[in-house]
A and B are shown apart, each in its own frame.
Chain A
Amino acid sequence: MAVYKHSYQRYGGELTAIWSRFLILPRYAFQEVFRSKFLIALLVGSYVCPVVYALIIYLHHNLTALRILNTNPAFLVAIDKHFFYMFLQIQAGVGFLLSALVGPGLISPDLANNALPLYLSRPFSRVEYVLGKMSVLIILLSAITWVPGLLLLLLQSNLEGGSWFVSNLRIAGALCLGSWIWILFLSLFSLTLSAWVKWRFVAGALLFGLLSFVEGMGAAINNIFDTNAGYLINLSEVMRTVWSSLFALQGNGRIALDDAWRSLLAFCVICLLMLSRKVKAYEVVK
């Protein structure tokens, strides 16, 4: 028999590995994120394109199916770098929609009621915080860009024969690198918006609005100063230039490749600077 008294107890047990702590944030965020049925629908919808692509690849290699459809393989879309470049562009667009849905809710709830000091008073740094939040978007966006892309490539190479992959390694590389650049930029940008804008809906809308606005500014600059420099702030132009160079395709020559890279870098640095202004434990009021 015993009477148990409930009192404060220190914790003396094991601690989890320090390096993996930032993954706690995506785990909690995903539980929240997947409560939205709309998001699940969008996620499912984002696999429509990969499935269609897989079908096309399959059709290319399946004589029976072709005979049924009564077509010539030559009429189908060719499976080359153009094929995969189109894939990347489509999925990048879907990714943009996903970010607009998921991104705004990542940092703004923490800032709305000053919860950040509670995070940072623990063995958890600002870098880990941002990394953790970015991982949510990185994981989601990866799942719809380079992961299905690589799977498609593997499918193609499986059906076509082992050497196809090796001779088209460049496509794989371009797909992965192109996706990662887009993912990194998009995550940084939505996190920055989430940190600076209080209302989730406005932040989501701004994701579209700001980019269109900046594009418009770019076009205005082009017109007024009669240059092509305005395209440097036009995100779609910049991305297309970078992507086409990765896929070894002919770009439209509006911007030089080096300038495009620099422009991207500048975008990312600005986002990081703005993030670091907001993700702080304590505001010093002058």
Chain B
Amino acid sequence: MRTIPDENQIVLDDVSKFYGEVLGINRVSLAIPAGITSLVGPNGSGKTTLMNLMTGLLQPSQGQVWVLGLSPSRPEKLFPKLGYCTQFDSFPKGLTGRQLLCSQLRLHGWGRPEAAARAQKTLERVGLTEAADRRVAGYSKGMRQRIKLALAICHDPSVLVLDEPLNGLDPLARAEMLALFREMAARGIHLLISSHILHEVDLISDRVILINNGFVVAEGDIREVRDEMQEHPRQILVRCNKPGLLAARIFEENQGIEVRIHDDHRGLLVKTRCADQFYLMMNRAVLETGLDVEFIAPADDDVNSVYGYLIGADGGRP
């Protein structure tokens, strides 16, 4: 069934991509709204294929792709609105960073003075003003990453597709770029970011797409995804001075199906079917038994754990 393309979303409608016999992605249907959507999965799972399909570098073997209502098979309409930062590093020789940006902007149709102004603004945003007039061939890894980002954002796109954008950046730069992405998301831009660093994904994403072996394994807000996974009870980590006592209490009140006490006897890991009830029980337990709680937190509420459950350690190629 052909759906009317939504102008506010990136839509994939039953898309498959095969390279001859080799599978890229298989029957993927997605609707990506504005904000930061992270794409997570092992190497070889189809992330780059998905990104290439969205940016029109590949045509699907089957199915349809719509980016903000436009089709990637009409690049002249789509590319002014799209920025793509790939994971591969190659640049035309002999150009400086500034020249590269200016030529890209002129390709998008801006005149020379405007292009220069925009290039300067973009260089400031990515933090490359010092090295802007040096040859790109002499850039360090971090600088090359920044110029790639600059090329992707210089024309103010509405859609940004970023393949491992923080690779090689030092902690400061990572924090700056993450803040930049959040700022862009707040302005209504669609960002699709692929990353292996799951705690960063947790930090900034509104939604997550987990992909493995060419299939989408789960997608949506990470908390909702976790809630749907009923077959994995919630795990909660508690560090306190009397773990045995707490364990007994948990079993007495039937608030846990499994409790494991840490080796140092100062904490425990609880598996429970209903986290809400457990927390309310904790309040009573602390007051009635004189327990000293030092630390309490959900142990598997994040992308890392969901990844482990759904894709596992054997995901992807050996």
A contact residues vs B (CB 8 Å cutoff): 285-286
> Can you report 3 A-B residue pairs in the complex whose CB atoms are below 8 A from each other?
A285-B138, A285-B140, A286-B138
Chain B residues with CB below 8 A from A285, complex form: 138, 140
B contact residues vs A (CB 8 Å cutoff): 138, 140
Q: Give the 3 A-B residue pairs with the shortest CB-CB distance, closest first.
A: A285-B138, A286-B138, A285-B140
Chain A: minimal CB distance from B93 (Å): 14
Q: Tell me the nearest residue of chain B to A286, going by C-beta.
A: B138
Q: Tell me the nearest residue of chain A to B140, going by C-beta.
A: A285
Q: Tell me the nearest residue of chain B to A285, going by C-beta.
A: B138
Chain B residues with CB below 8 A from A286, complex form: 138
* Interchain CA distance A286-B138 in the complex, whole Å: 6
Q: Tell me the nearest residue of chain A to B138, going by C-beta.
A: A285
* Interchain CA distance A286-B134 in the complex, whole Å: 10
* Interchain CA distance A285-B140 in the complex, whole Å: 8
Chain A: minimal CB distance from B131 (Å): 12
Chain B: minimal CB distance from A148 (Å): 51
Q: Tell me the nearest residue of chain A to B134, going by C-beta.
A: A286
* Interchain CA distance A190-B248 in the complex, whole Å: 77
Chain B: minimal CB distance from A24 (Å): 32
Chain B: minimal CB distance from A282 (Å): 13
Q: Tell me the nearest residue of chain A to B139, going by C-beta.
A: A285
Chain B: minimal CB distance from A54 (Å): 57
Chain A residues with CB below 8 A from B138, complex form: 285-286
Chain A: minimal CB distance from B37 (Å): 36
Chain A residues with CB below 8 A from B140, complex form: 285
* Interchain CA distance A129-B138 in the complex, whole Å: 28
Chain B: minimal CB distance from A285 (Å): 5
Chain A: minimal CB distance from B267 (Å): 25
Chain A: minimal CB distance from B113 (Å): 31
Chain A: minimal CB distance from B142 (Å): 13
Chain B: minimal CB distance from A114 (Å): 14
* Interchain CA distance A4-B140 in the complex, whole Å: 46
* Interchain CA distance A93-B140 in the complex, whole Å: 47
Q: Tell me the nearest residue of chain A to B135, going by C-beta.
A: A286
* Interchain CA distance A285-B141 in the complex, whole Å: 11
Chain B: minimal CB distance from A93 (Å): 41
Chain A: minimal CB distance from B277 (Å): 42
* Interchain CA distance A286-B140 in the complex, whole Å: 10
Q: Tell me the nearest residue of chain A to B137, going by C-beta.
A: A285
* Interchain CA distance A286-B139 in the complex, whole Å: 9
Chain A: minimal CB distance from B92 (Å): 18
* Interchain CA distance A285-B131 in the complex, whole Å: 14
* Interchain CA distance A285-B138 in the complex, whole Å: 6
Chain A: minimal CB distance from B69 (Å): 44
* Interchain CA distance A122-B140 in the complex, whole Å: 26
Chain B: minimal CB distance from A63 (Å): 74
Chain A: minimal CB distance from B219 (Å): 38
Chain B: minimal CB distance from A286 (Å): 6
* Interchain CA distance A28-B287 in the complex, whole Å: 72
Chain A: minimal CB distance from B89 (Å): 14
